[in-house]
Amino acid sequence: MDQKQMVGVIELEEMEFYAYHGCFKEEQVVGNRFLVKVTLETDCTVAAETDDISDALNYVSVYEIVREQIMQTSHLLEHLNKRIIDGIYQKFPELLKATVKVSKMNPPMGGQMKCVSVTFSR
């Protein structure tokens, strides 16, 4: 039987954290809410057949990578985002593609704004 590759898209959506990122001193003291979305494309062929977590991309590990990186202060969302995506690829080098979106909620922009976001893909 010819088995075809099953490429899966795994999304961890609206992970919420309170952290201390920003260029302004106040942001690093007061902190802010951040939302993170991670989208991963990976070969799910074996996991789909075996129903065994050891054959799958472990979502808990991805969450822990995000949590660990977001707890380390950065001035820029770009820097934080790169650290997250680097950490994910370090743990899961077999990934076909990863996209990470980091949103700072209610940024101090001098006006009303829901969020500002930076998205990286590799």
Is 11 in contact with 38 (CB distance < 8 Å)?
yes
CA distance 105 to 11: 20
Residue 25: partners with Cβ closer than 8 Å, 6 or more residues away? none
Angstrom distance (rounded) from CA 119 to CA 78: 8
Q: How far apart are CA 87 and CA 85, in angstroms?
A: 5
Residue positions annotated with a catalytic role: 104
H-helix or E-strand containing 78?
helix 77-91
